[in-house]
């Protein structure tokens, strides 16, 4: 078994991650809300908004003020309310109310960057792509799976090494591992289950 597959196997025994999918619109809106916002706040804010309006047409019936109140205290909630309305307008006018399923089209939407596009493709459409967030960035570099600081290059390096069947769980695994053990500051190397594979620990 290759190094990367052994790493995934060990981490998955610990975290028991299963691939999941949700409505692409819900994934997209949650991603927009999540920017510069803690996970717990994002979950609650997304849930409040999507309970009231779970598609672009319903969102457009809300005022910006109503959206602000529903997503508060997410960071930059006023800007996000504006952005959400703008995205929904574009989805209706250009994509018949559907979230596009190509990276190129997703990146044309306001506030959608590389990570958000990849999250929508993987968790909204089940496509085998790896979203590179801060946890994936640090874990991949520490394990020597990439030497790059460039998010797009890191994605390429990971796609080259990681079989498609593992890609839908890799982001989730590295996020859990990054929060608990391989932290950005003061990683807990002494309790790391994959320490023997880690260039940083050496």
User: Is the separation of the CB atoms in 136 and 175 below 8 Å?
Assistant: yes
Our answer to whether residue 133 is catalytic in this structure is yes
- Which residue among 26, 80, 85, 115 is the active-site one? 115
Terminal-to-terminal C-alpha distance of the chain: 22
Kindly report the backbone phi and psi dihedral angles of residue 95, in degrees, each rounded to the nearest multiple of 5, phi listed first: -125, 20
> For residues 77 and 72, what is the distance between their CA atoms, to the nearest angstrom?
6
- Which residue among 26, 85, 118, 133 is the active-site one? 133
Angle at 196 between CA 194 and CA 197, to 5 degrees: 70
Residues annotated catalytic, as ranges: 115, 133
């Amino acid at each position: 078994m290759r190094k990367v597959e052994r790493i995934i196997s060990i981490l998955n025994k610990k975290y028991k991650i299963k691939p999941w999918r949700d409505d692409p619109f819900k994934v997209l809106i949650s991603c927009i809300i999540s920017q510069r916002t803690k996970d717990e706040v994002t979950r609650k804010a997304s849930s409040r908004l999507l309970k009231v309006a779970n598609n672009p047409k319903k969102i457009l019936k809300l005022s910006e003020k109503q959206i602000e109140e529903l997503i508060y205290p997410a960071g930059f909630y006023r800007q996000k309310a504006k952005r959400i309305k703008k995205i929904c307008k574009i989805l209706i006018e250009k994509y018949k109310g559907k979230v596009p399923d190509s990276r190129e089209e997703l990146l044309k939407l306001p506030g959608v960057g590389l990570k958000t596009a990849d999250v929508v493709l993987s968790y909204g459409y089940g496509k085998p792509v790896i979203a590179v967030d801060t946890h994936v960035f640090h874990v991949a570099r520490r394990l020597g799976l990439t030497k790059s600081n460039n998010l797009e290059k890191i994605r390429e390096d990971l796609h080259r090494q990681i079989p498609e069947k593992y890609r839908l769980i890799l982001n989730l695994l590295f996020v859990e591992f990054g929060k608990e053990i391989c932290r950005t500051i003061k990683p807990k190397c002494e309790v790391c289950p994959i320490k023997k594979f880690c260039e940083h620990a050496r």
